[in-house]
Amino acid sequence: MTRMKSVNESPDSSDLVVDLPKLQRNPGVPAEVASEWKPDLLETTHSSATLIQVKISLEAVSERITAIGTATLHWTAQCRRCLEATSGCTSIDINEIFEEGASEGETFELPLGEKLDLKPMLAEQVLLNLPLAALCSESCTGPKDTEFFTKSLPSNTEQNPQEFKDPRWSALDQLKFTDD
């Protein structure tokens, strides 16, 4: 499940809104954008973006605006083995085109107004690059046996099966099934 909610309009992300007429008046002259953005809620089911550092060169070429550069995505997630919190960084190569009559999934729509907001393009890149199943380390062995009751009942002992039941599943003991 992927979701994107409203993004934080903090002053640190104002550099990600570019003056479009100024850029189009100087075709072939790149405009450098370097900024940090702390998105409010940009997350997948198991990970979320905490900070995006961006260095992009924007250039007006014919009827298009090209955006070429890099973004460093800082994220937090839950380790898929031990379920502890983990974090990391991912480098994202940006190579996008803004144009009128954009092709779905290939280019971004050039806005009609005087401002080009780079945040929707960056949000899409972030969602595509957030880890789906993060690991805290390659050597992570997962949870301790006693933490999640992963032991199975030994067949050669006379231990009580109740000792191996996970109490979090006790509500299921009350379920009664009929043959209907």
Residues 83, 86: Cα–Cα separation, whole Å: 9
Is 161 part of a structural domain of the chain? Answer: no
Global pTM? Answer: 0.70
Residues 130/47, Cβ–Cβ less than 8 Å? yes
Is 49 part of a structural domain of the chain? Answer: yes
CA dihedral 55, 132, 4, 50 (to 10 degrees): -50
Select from 1, 86, 12, 18 the least CA-distant residue to 51: 12
pLDDT at 20: 87
Between the alpha carbon of residue 46 and those of residues 34, 78, 144, the distances in Å are: 28, 6, 21
User: Could you read off the pLDDT of 57-87 as tens digits, one per residue?
Assistant: 999 988 889 999 999 999 999 998 888 899 9
pLDDT at 94: 95
pLDDT at 157: 55
Is 173 part of a structural domain of the chain? Answer: no
* Non-local CB neighbours of 42 within 8 Å, separated by 6+ positions: 4, 5, 7, 48, 49, 123, 126, 127
What does the mean pLDDT of the chain come to?
82
Is 152 part of a structural domain of the chain? Answer: no
Is 40 part of a structural domain of the chain? Answer: yes
User: Could you read off the pLDDT of 139-162 as tens digits, one per residue?
Assistant: 888 876 655 554 455 555 565 655
Give the range of the structural domain holding residue 38, as residue numbers without chain letter.
2-129
Is 32 part of a structural domain of the chain? Answer: yes
pLDDT at 119: 92
Question: How large is the average pLDDT for residues 31-56?
Answer: 92
Overall domain count for the chain: 1
Is 89 part of a structural domain of the chain? Answer: yes
Is 147 part of a structural domain of the chain? Answer: no
Q: Say yes or no to pLDDT of 118 above 60.
A: yes
Q: Say yes or no to pLDDT of 39 above 80.
A: yes
pLDDT at 1: 36
